[in-house]
């Protein structure tokens, strides 16, 4: 199929548009575009099984986020991205012109009890890990990618202290190791905050470690160099940042040690654990599904950021 030729949408399923919107991208390709020229390794990738058409309806940025992730797949070139973009745009346009009332997204639920049912039916790839040794240099590979994926998958974020995007320059200056350019890192984080501003709909959970927060706001250990004013400014920035997050994102303070938690980020089948000054990054749906119960327990036993700050500010 020539990528310059307009792609025609196939026949919608007999049980209506609603069912079509709940199809995965992989099923859409199998049933309506079997002849679309995509390499087998790309067509059969688990990412296409995870994402549905409905996930892209409410926010065009979700389509861009999915295509950006699709572009990173092995053996995926720009021509294949163009072909898939044509398919998705055509399908979404057809859906919108057929029955607008069916485009309403179901009301978002609370953080799911486990990874959605697809985790049961998919055959996950064996866990593949890589280690990103530098915490600062890994910011783009880890945080930017995680927030991009948050357009269409629930996430859990467990920062080592505060969320990177909610730290003041004074706190960052204390935490960054010698040799890192604070100004350059602040520019990166400004870009991350801009990316966050583009996410209007997301479901997720941010868990903050009470012991790490206490060290900052009590000015203990390495944070002893902070002034009282700097701590108060950090408290204000944290509260203001959390207010700007989408309504579906909740933030809870808990004790990581008591709850058996480690700093990291998890979305869909992707995980990143903060270890040895860097990140271990992996992909495994079953592994992340097994962690969900621990996240839920920590959330249930935790308390709000406002409650925590009352004792310090």
Q: What is the pLDDT of residues 7-65, one digit of tens each?
A: 444 555 544 555 677 788 888 888 888 888 888 878 888 778 878 888 777 666 778 77
Q: Which residue has the higher pLDDT, 92 or 227?
A: 227
- Compute the average pLDDT of residues 114-120: 39
Distant-in-sequence, close-in-space partners of 234: CB < 8 Å, separation ≥ 6:
162, 167, 168, 170, 171, 216, 217, 226
Lowest mean pLDDT among 8-17, 53-62, 162-171, 181-190: 8-17
Structure tokens at 257: 């040690």
Question: How does 153-178 read in b/e, with b if 16+ C-beta sit within 10 Å?
Answer: bbbbbbbebbbbbbbbebbbbbbeee
Lowest mean pLDDT among 53-57, 115-119, 188-192, 266-270: 115-119
Q: pLDDT digits over 92-111, tens only?
A: 777 664 343 333 333 333 33
How deeply is 284 buried, as exposed, middle or buried, from its count of CB atoms within 10 A (0-12, 13-18, 19+)?
middle
**Residue 13: what pLDDT?**
52
Q: Which residue has the higher pLDDT, 244 or 16?
A: 244
Lowest mean pLDDT among 44-53, 212-221, 253-262, 291-300: 44-53
pTM: 0.63
CATH number of 118-310: 3.30.870
Residue 152: closest CA among 247, 46, 62, 250: 62
For residues 50 and 122, what is the distance between their CA atoms, to the nearest angstrom?
A: 9
Q: Which residue has the higher pLDDT, 5 or 147?
A: 147
**Residue 123: what pLDDT?**
45
Distant-in-sequence, close-in-space partners of 24: CB < 8 Å, separation ≥ 6:
48, 49, 50, 51, 52, 118
**CB-based contact 103:252 (threshold 8 Å):** no
pLDDT of 122 above 50: no
For residues 59 and 211, what is the distance between their CA atoms, to the nearest angstrom?
A: 37
**Torsions phi, psi for 236 (to 5 deg):** -65, -40
How deeply is 89 buried, as exposed, middle or buried, from its count of CB atoms within 10 A (0-12, 13-18, 19+)?
middle
How deeply is 46 buried, as exposed, middle or buried, from its count of CB atoms within 10 A (0-12, 13-18, 19+)?
middle
């Amino acid at each position: 199929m020539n990528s310059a030729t307009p792609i025609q949408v196939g026949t919608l399923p007999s049980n209506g548009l609603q069912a079509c919107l709940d199809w995965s991208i992989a099923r859409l390709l199998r049933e309506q575009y079997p002849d679309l020229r995509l390499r087998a390794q790309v067509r059969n990738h688990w990412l296409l099984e995870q994402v549905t058409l409905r996930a892209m309806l409410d926010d065009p940025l979700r389509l861009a986020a999915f295509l950006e992730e699709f572009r990173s797949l092995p053996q995926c070139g720009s021509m294949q991205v163009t072909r898939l973009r044509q398919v998705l745009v055509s399908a979404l346009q057809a859906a919108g012109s057929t029955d607008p009332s069916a485009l309403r997204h179901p009301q978002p639920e609370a953080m799911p009890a486990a990874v959605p049912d697809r985790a049961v039916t998919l055959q996950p790839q064996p866990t593949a890990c890589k280690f990103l040794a530098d915490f600062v240099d890994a910011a783009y590979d880890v945080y930017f990618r995680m927030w991009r994926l948050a357009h269409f998958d629930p996430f859990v974020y467990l920062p080592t202290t505060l969320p990177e995007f909610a730290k003041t320059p004074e706190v960052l200056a204390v935490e960054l190791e010698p040799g890192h350019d604070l100004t350059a890192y602040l520019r990166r984080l400004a870009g991350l905050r801009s990316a966050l501003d583009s996410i209007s709909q997301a479901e997720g959970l941010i868990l903050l470690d009470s012991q790490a927060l206490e060290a900052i706001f009590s000015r203990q250990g390495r944070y002893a160099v902070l002034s009282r004013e700097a701590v108060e400014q950090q408290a204000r920035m944290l509260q203001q940042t959390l207010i700007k997050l989408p309504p579906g994102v909740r933030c809870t303070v808990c004790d990581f040690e008591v709850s058996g938690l480690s700093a990291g980020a998890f979305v869909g089948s992707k995980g990143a654990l903060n270890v040895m000054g860097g990140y271990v990054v992996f992909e495994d749906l079953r592994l992340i599904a097994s962690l969900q119960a621990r996240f839920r327990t920590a959330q249930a036993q935790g308390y709000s950021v406002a409650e925590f700050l009352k004792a310090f500010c």
